[in-house]
Structure 1
Amino acid sequence: MADSYHSANHEMLKQTREAGESTAFDRMDDMGVRCKFCEKGVRCSLCSQGPCRLTDKVTRGVCGIDADGMAMRNFLLQNTMGTATYMYHAVEVMKTLRQAAPGGTYEIKDWSKLETLAGVVGEPLEPRDTLPLRVADAILAEMNRDHQSPSPFVEKMAPAKRVAKWKELGILPGGVLHENMFATASCLTNVDGNYVSLALKGLRLGVATAYGAQIPLEFAQDALFGTPTPHPIKVDLGIIDPAYVNIAVNGHEPMVGAALIAAAHEPAAQEKARAAGAKGLRIVGSIETGQELVQRFEVDDVFVGLTGNWLSEELAVATGGLDVFAADMNCTVPTLGATCAAHGTLLVPVSDVIGIDGAETPVVFDPANAADQARQLIDMAIANFPERQKLSQSLPELREGDAVAGFSTESILGALGGSLDPLLDVIKNGTLKGVCGLVSCTTLRDGDQDSHTVAIAHELIKNDVLVLAMGCGNAALQVAGLETPEAKEKAGPGLKAVCELLGIPPILSFGTCTDTGRIMLLVGAIADALGVDTSDLPV
């Protein structure tokens, strides 16, 4: 029976199962034996001749594609959906950047990041008051650059040796929007059935996604909300107190959550919540939206931290402690409407890509009206609080844990005294065996929730490998207690010494899955400092 590595989730699973509620854990059990053709990527239903399934005896589909071509085409087609999602995120961030103004809901917190972006797209720094608008428009134009015209983001931000290699391979991309169109068009039946060609297009799309969507949106978010710096946070389901009006922010984008945190700190909002019978009003971070927020905002009595990764979201609702679940562009499961209805929670989409049975009328994010929308969500939550309180919901005692969040290339450099040399020295002399970027989602496929991620991380730090964690796997390690200074006791002697010297945990919270671009820049900086290619590093 599917379970979780985390004790709070385990306790909530017992409760949901006793109540007969469906969660991803139960649906995983229901799946039973999986299709072996699908597992191998040798099943296709793209055209009216299918579905086709390939075996050792039936080696080609009706169209003539072989197993290698079919598997690679399926893989590339999945990647185009991921790229489209990062593009959507990037576009939403640029729309927000266009609205940045002093004293507004969104204003520039880190001008250096905006100036870096301006340098890449060739925008002059003056007049300063129009720089956010001009940079945002220039980035949107760059995203739409033809795929045959190389992107300046790649040429100016990627390591020179990588750029040369990508040129040699013919995978130096243009604008990410056109690259995604190019890759998707290649996946149509009877267009590209050659697995090598499809693989190269996949690599090209990966470069375009990182440098054409992820890195620009990360820098723009840093400009808007501040570049992450290390600070203590709270994690796990125990951060939810049902006696408060609680709004969970879920998905991948920080914009609505940031507006809610600001609005929830207004005395009038807190007074309204208390007048409704609550102890106050709180904002609860969930999955990557929560991760974006805990990187940049201090945890206090209003913003209380991060519940966990996406497999935890149904269990967070099942605590019966949430009044509004605000769902932005990603990772809200299709059954959540039923879970919310059972526990007195309003499921409110705040992105126009979200469509879920049982959801309330969407409050679609509009950066020009974000403050008013945040107050609207708060009013909905406060009005719902007495209704939720009418439900008789018992809650087991759930763990509240600690972690340190907010590591970035800049904060690591700060901890090292402004130079990578101390890190390079301990790698060169063997004190550290290497650095590992652990970028992962969470799965129940081969074990309990997060069990493999935690096991791999334990093994890495035990063997003196510093880990930079991103994505749902990052939340797994935060909730597991491995991103605290005390976790150095689980590290090997070399890594433990480095942790003590720098005052860092053995696993650094490097953000969300979107922040993979951030680690590419760090790896590139290390390679440049050593005068080697990234492929030569112990990473």
Structure 2
Amino acid sequence: PAGVLHEIKDATASCLTNVDGDYISLARKALRLSIACIYGAQIPLEMVQDILFGTPFPHEVNMDFGILDPDYINIVFNGHEPWLGIATLMEAKKPEWQNKAKEVGAKGIRIIGSIETGQEMLQRFPMDDVFVGHTGNWLSIEPLLATGAVDVFAMDENCSPPNLHPYGEKYQVTLVSINDLVRIPKVDKNLDYKPPEGAEMAVKLIEWGLANFPLRKQKVTPYIPYRQQKAIAGFSTEAVLESLGGQVAPLLEVIKSGKIQGVVAIVNCATLKNGPQDWMTVNLAKELIKKDILVLAAGCGNHGLEVAGLASLDALQLAGPGLKEVCGSLKIPPVLSFGTCTDTGRISMLVTALAEAIGVDTKDLPVAVSAPEWMEQKATIDGIFALAFGLTTHLSPVPPVTGGPELVKLLTEDLEGLTGATVMLGDDPKTVAEDLYQLIRKKRAALGL
């Protein structure tokens, strides 16, 4: 593939009326575009964030609504870009702002993460008196606002539903768009992020929080489900290698021995199309770790797994004996929180390291991908990339392509001849886990393991 903008231009132009009508040609362009997106955008994005804010490192974090305290000024950052969230976190730690919060009757100011913006922050920053954790994925946004404990809800990029204004009015939440891509009906506070003005924008958000707190305390009776879940977040290729002594050989040894049968990356959104919130994701992960399959998690599904307790050491009790032994010795959970949906590239770096160490192509590894609650466009990019990368990818719910039987055959059968991977379908977590397990066993047998 060429550069990402070139591939986007070509792919978009190909979809115009009466331009490219060949589904195989379009599929090839989609595969090229996905590779360009991962290596030309996602990986550079994560590397830049690592340079600016530090490479993710494993540490214990707080999840779920129990992190909320209505007696604090709570500023929540929601979306996919952590720039202004981190700027506000740095600003809010200054004693002058904490003192001003006390002057309006609050105990202090707290910064809270939601969906991917929160996860980017969670991966890099430890919990303290100001940054207290993460509430969950995008399906948790409306109940989050309905707790009556949020003062400012700052929205960047996608996954801020368009119907939030009534929640803002009823529960006295100051809703703010902090990205010019985001506009919410009847929300007039648009603080579009500009890097040179980041510090001033952070101050403005804090000032709005200070102004909102007395109004919220007067108007709203909070209701908070006081459930708080511990998780270990912050895994990255660098962190995994460091835990293994700086080389991938120890991981290869436990895979060769069968203590870890293989690896499945669960990278997905959250949807209600195939069950209750996070039901498919959580139950699939439980079934996989039971079969001694290590799970790498990213995206909104990752938040669901963290909230469900599967990214904690307690989850070792649910793992198979081999996985339990290995993870227990390393003091890591059986589900490794690798971050956001844009961390697909970060996961691919670890898979590449494994392939290079063994001396095989990525398609030959006992590794697969699942998007058990995929929903939006970025999930499509990640899924198509996984196929281009040679990793069979499970999807649920079934994508809207069943009207084209030839395309279905291409995705589920013929693509293996091109990249070594196919699309796997299934909505039952036990069945899907068994199918992935059998795929991994087949890959192991081909490698002589």
Length-normalised TM-score, structure 1: 0.67
Amino acid at match of 1:404: I
Give yes or no for the alignment of 1:404 onto 2:404. Answer: no
Given candidates 458, 469, 473, the residue that maps to 2:297 is 469
* Structure 1 residue aligned with 2:272: 444
Verify the 8 A CA contact 2:106 2:213 in the aligned structure 1: yes
State which of 29, 47, 57 in structure 2 corresponds to 1:219: 47
Corresponding residue for residue 369 of structure 1: 197
Secondary structure in structure 2 of the residue aligned to 1:412: helix
How far apart are the structure 2 equivalents of 1:354 and 1:345? 17
Greater per-residue strand proportion: 2
One-letter amino acid matched to 2:361: D
Residue 209 of structure 1: aligned partner: 37
Distance in 1 between the 2:335 and 2:311 partners? 5
Per-residue deviation, 1:361: 2.2
Indicate if the aligned counterparts of 1:338 and 1:358 stay in contact, CA closer than 8 A: no
Assess if the C-alpha contact under 8 Å between 2:74 and 2:209 holds in 1: yes
CA RMSD of aligned residues (A): 0.8
SS at 1:390 equivalent: helix
- Report what 2:281 is aligned to: 453
Counterpart in 1 of 2:134? 306
Deviation at 1:396?
Answer: 4.5
CA contact (8 A) 1:288 1:472 kept: yes
Which consecutive residues of structure 2, in runs of 5 or more, have no partner in the other structure? 368-449
Partner of 2:217: 389
Alignment counterpart, residue 488 of structure 1, candidates 316, 319, 332: 316
Aligned ranges 1:280-291 → 2 under 5 Å: 280-291=108-119
Q: Which residue of 1 aligns with 2:427?
A: none
Using the TM superposition, name which of 394-403 and 196-205 deviates more. Answer: 394-403
Q: Secondary structure at the match of 1:190?
A: coil
1:27-61 per-residue CA deviation (whole Å, 9 max, x = no partner) reads xxxxxxxxxxxxxxxxxxxxxxxxxxxxxxxxxxx
Check conservation: 2:66, 2:224, Cα contact below 8 A: no
Write the deviation string for residues 362-413 of structure 1: whole angstroms up to 9, x where unpaired: 1111111211110111011101111111113241442111000000000000
- Which residue of the partner structure matches residue 261 of structure 2? 433
| 2:264 counterpart SS class | strand
State the shift of 1:435 in Å: 0.8
2:96 counterpart of 1:268: yes
CA contact (8 A) 1:474 1:511 kept: yes
Distance between the aligned counterparts of 2:328 and 2:309, measured in 1?
17
Q: What is the 5 A alignment of 1:226-265? A: 226-265=54-93
Q: Does the Cα contact within 8 Å between 1:310 and 1:472 map onto a contact in 2?
A: yes
Residue in structure 2 matched with residue 339 of structure 1 by the alignment: 167
Q: Percent identity?
A: 56
- Please list the CA deviations of residues 294-335 of structure 1 after superposition, one character each: whole Å capped at 9, or x if unmatched: 000111110110000000011111101111101011110000
Shift of 1:282: 0.3
Distance 2:222 2:268 in 1: 33
Cα deviation digits, residues 139-175 of structure 1 (max 9, x gap): xxxxxxxxxxxxxxxxxxxxxxxxxxxxxxxxxx111
- Give, in whole Å, the separation in 1 of the partners of 2:225 and 2:35: 46
4+ runs deviating over 2 angstroms: none
Q: Over alpha carbons, which structure has the higher Rg?
A: 1
Amino acid at match of 1:330: N
- Distance in 2, matches of 1:180 and 1:338, equals 37
Describe how 1:65-214 pairs up with structure 2 within 5 A.
173-214=1-42
Is the CA contact 2:65–2:224 (under 8 Å) kept in the aligned structure 1? no
- Corresponding residue SS for 1:469: strand
Matching residue's letter, 2:301: G
State the alpha-carbon separation in 1 of the partners of residues 195 and 279 from structure 2.
Answer: 39
Deviation of the 1:191 alpha carbon: 0.5
- What is aligned with 1:507? 335
Q: Which amino acid aligns with 2:318?
A: K
Q: Deviations over 1:37-86 (max 9, x none)?
A: xxxxxxxxxxxxxxxxxxxxxxxxxxxxxxxxxxxxxxxxxxxxxxxxxx
Q: Are the counterparts in 1 of residues 70 and 222 from structure 2 also a CA contact under 8 Å?
A: no
Match of 2:154 among 326, 331, 352: 326
Amino acid at match of 1:382: L
Partner of 1:140: none
In structure 2, what residue type is equivalent to 1:287? I
How many residues are matched? 367
CA distance in 2, matches of 1:397, 1:468: 28
Structure 2 residue 326 is the aligned partner of structure 1 residue 498: yes
One-letter identity of the residue aligned with 2:58: P
Post-superposition Cα deviations, 1:4-45, rounded to whole Å, max 9, x if no partner, equal: xxxxxxxxxxxxxxxxxxxxxxxxxxxxxxxxxxxxxxxxxx
Which letter maps to 2:331?
A: G
Question: In 2, are the aligned partners of 1:346 and 1:360 still within 8 Å (CA)?
Answer: no
Question: Whole-Å Cα distance in 1 between the matches of residues 254 and 182 of structure 2?
Answer: 47
SS where residue 148 of structure 2 aligns?
Answer: coil
Q: Who is 2:246 aligned against?
A: 418
Per-residue deviation, 1:357: 1.1
Q: Secondary structure at the match of 1:193?
A: coil
Q: Secondary structure at the match of 1:233?
A: strand
CA distance in 2, matches of 1:442, 1:178: 30
Look up the SS of the partner of 2:176 in the other structure: strand
Aligned residues of 2:296 and 2:338 also touching (Cα < 8 A): yes
* Secondary structure of residue in 2 paired with 1:520: helix
Matching residue of 1:379: 207
Contact 1:245 1:282 in 2 (8 A): yes
C-alpha offsets along residues 442-464 of structure 1, whole Å, 9 cap, x if unaligned? Answer: 11002100000001000000000
Equivalent residues of 1:214, 1:514 under 8 A apart? yes
Q: Which runs of 5+ in 1 are unaligned?
A: 1-172
User: How many Å apart are 1:358 and its aligned residue?
Assistant: 2.4
Paired residue type of 1:343: Y
**Contact 1:234–1:403 (CA<8 Å) still a contact in 2?**
yes
CA distance in 1 between partners of 2:245 and 2:224 (Å)? 45
